[in-house]
Amino acid sequence: MIQPYPAPTLRYACTWIDKEVCKDSFEHGCEVQRTCVLNEATIVTAPTLRELLEAIKARFCLHGDLADFSFEDADEHNAATGLERLDYGQLEDADGGEPSDTDLARWRTGELEFLYACDYTFSIERRQVTGIDAKEAEELMIQLEDERERVLLAAEATA
């Protein structure tokens, strides 16, 4: 027997990631041209907002502190809907990893021509998660059984 759904549970989720990269010379800064290297749906969830940031940091190999994240600025749009965007920026080496202290020192002196300035944008949301209502599930199963019966009858009629 299907059990009634439990009390609603609050979850936080990241549903999309966008990563833009530009070459960054210590002396001249970032190039004007930015390249989008990642733009896709993702699912990262957590029971608290802090744990969501920790999970995003771990999943996407972000090497700074949680305080390096920034939320979009509050404005008229999100006053009604809530904040929906989380941003994060970091320097990366050519392999997408954290630059070593040696690489950073070489970059500052110009010996290493550039590192990559990477800007991450995450779509985030807060969800009320509940189980599926038992009556809804039962109704769906009845519909699916009826559809299967119609398909079988149609197949027998054409055979």
- Confidence (pLDDT) at 4: 57
Over residues 27-81, the pLDDT tens digits come to: 999 988 999 999 999 999 999 999 999 999 999 999 999 999 999 876 666 666 6
Query: Cα torsion at 24, 26, 29, 35 (round to 10°)?
Result: 0
| φ/ψ of residue 18, rounded to 5 | -130, 130
Selection from 121, 126, 120, 130 nearest residue 13 by Cα: 126
For position 1, what pLDDT does the model report? 60
What's the rounded mean pLDDT across residues 88-107? 95
Determine the pLDDT at residue 60. 96
More reliable by pLDDT, 130 or 117: 117
Report the pLDDT value the prediction gives residue 132, as an integer from 0 to 100.
Answer: 81
- Measured in Å, how far apart are the chain's first and last C-alpha atoms? 37
Q: What is the pLDDT at residue 6?
A: 61
Output the CA angle 15-20-26, nearest 5 degrees: 140
Tell me the pLDDT tens digit for each residue of 121-153: 999 999 888 878 889 999 999 999 999 999 999
Residue 21, number of CB atoms within 10 A of its CB:
20
Task: Provide the token pair at 68.
Answer: 């390096």
pLDDT per residue over 14-26, tens digit each? 999 999 999 999 9
In the DSSP assignment, the letter for residue 96 is: S
**Higher per-residue pLDDT: 134 or 6:** 134
Q: What's the mean pLDDT when you consider all of the chain?
A: 90
Q: What are phi and psi of 115, to 5 degrees?
A: -115, -175
